[in-house]
């Protein structure tokens, strides 16, 4: 009975939050930086909702963003689930507050949509997204930064009908082929909210991507890195010559991972416990390599991971 009242109260709060007026938010920059760039990545910044009484409730979202801004990145990628509910004005106001240092520093932001953005009314959600990210004119797109091509996917396939998913796959095949043939692109990185591989005990690996998207990516000699969120953890897998990172440590309630060799489905290169630290990623291109680092939140005494992706193709302007 008490749980029923809690759920009803949470729904009332959600309705009030969605209905309340809000001043127009300041849009984030969408300008592609020039020259050698340092790129930061954050995933899953949503708050724990009022009715998720059994989940972790965190207050370090803003601290992590401020730490990331101090590293002076040239651009920021967001891997989805910026908010708990995409049509909630209150959730977006919280996002605006924690991201204010990014706006002050005038760091360009390139987001993608997670499943939580689709919670609620899509029309309201899309208005909320467009008002903050006016440069994001489509739900999937490509941005090239410092000769690294980021293919930003919308992996919310349950929001697509069969024809739309097939259209997205054709678009992805065409973009990978074009970027592979483009002499100015040295490396291709695919970004999507849902991970094709994860040992999470809460969310499953995405088998649509495993079957229809990952094989396309692995065929490209420029394919080097795949970035995902959704699993609120940090995981590092390798398939072929590609590193698959799950980076969902932006502040959402963390998830337990299967770390027992019998229980987990994929071998995780990161040696950590079942709960992983809050973190962000940094990507920095060298002459013919890409240095990737997982940076934990200050004060957690967690192990940072860094590795180098070698043999990037030559860039021809």
What is the fold of 2-309?
Purple Acid Phosphatase; chain A, domain 2 (3.60.21)
Domain ranges of the chain: 2-309
- What is the rounded distance in angstroms from the CA atom of residue 257 to the CA atom of residue 267? 12
Categorise residue 311: left if φ over 0, alpha if ψ from -120 to 50, beta otherwise.
Answer: left
Q: Are residues 221 and 143 in contact, defined by beta-carbon separation less than 8 angstroms?
A: no
Q: Is the pTM of this model over 0.75?
A: yes
- What is the rounded distance in angstroms from the CA atom of residue 185 to the CA atom of residue 147? 5
Give the torsion through C-alpha atoms of 42, 48, 49, 52, to 10 deg: 140
pLDDT range class, residue 263, cuts 50, 70, 90: low
CA distances in angstroms from 23 to 62, 109, 128, 136, listed in the order given: 21, 21, 12, 21
- What is the rounded distance in angstroms from the CA atom of residue 263 to the CA atom of residue 289? 34
91-127 pLDDT tens trace: 999 999 999 999 999 999 999 999 999 999 999 999 9
- What is the rounded distance in angstroms from the CA atom of residue 39 to the CA atom of residue 74? 6
Rounded to an integer, the average pLDDT of 213-220 is 97
pLDDT of residue 230: 98
Total residues belonging to the chain = 317
17-36 pLDDT tens trace: 444 445 678 899 999 998 88
Three-state DSSP state, 67: helix
pLDDT of residue 7: 43
């Amino acid at each position: 009975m008490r749980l029923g009242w809690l759920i009803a109260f949470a729904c009332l709060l959600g309705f009030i939050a969605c209905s309340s007026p809000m001043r127009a938010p300041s849009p984030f920059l969408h300008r592609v930086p020039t020259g050698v760039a340092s790129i930061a990545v954050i995933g899953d910044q949503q708050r724990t909702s009022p009715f998720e009484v059994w989940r972790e409730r965190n207050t370090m979202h803003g601290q992590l963003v401020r730490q990331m801004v101090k590293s002076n990145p040239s651009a920021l990628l967001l891997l989805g689930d910026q908010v708990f509910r995409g049509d909630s004005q209150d959730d977006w106001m919280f996002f605006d507050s924690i991201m204010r240092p990014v706006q002050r520093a005038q760091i360009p932001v390139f987001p993608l949509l997670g499943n939580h953005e689709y919670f609620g009314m899509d029309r309201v959600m899309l208005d909320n997204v467009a008002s903050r990210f006016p440069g994001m004119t489509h739900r999937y797109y490509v941005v090239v930064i410092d000769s690294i091509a980021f293919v930003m996917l919308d992996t919310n396939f349950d929001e697509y009908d069969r024809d739309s998913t097939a259209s997205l796959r054709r678009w992805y095949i065409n973009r990978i082929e074009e970027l592979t043939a483009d002499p100015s692109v040295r490396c291709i990185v695919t970004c999507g909210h849902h991970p094709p591989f994860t040992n999470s005990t809460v969310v499953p690996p995405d088998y649509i991507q495993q079957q229809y998207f990952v094989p396309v990516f692995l065929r490209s000699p420029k394919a080097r890195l795949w970035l995902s969120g959704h699993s609120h953890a940090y995981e590092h897998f390798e398939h072929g010559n590609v590193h698959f990172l799950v980076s969902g440590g932006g502040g959402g309630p963390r998830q337990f991972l299967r770390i027992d060799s019998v229980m987990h489905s994929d071998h995780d290169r990161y040696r950590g416990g079942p709960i992983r630290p809050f973190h962000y990623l940094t990507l920095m291109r060298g002459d013919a390599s890409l240095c990737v680092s997982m940076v934990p939140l200050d004060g957690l005494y967690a192990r940072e991971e860094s590795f180098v992706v070698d043999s990037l193709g030559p860039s021809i302007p």
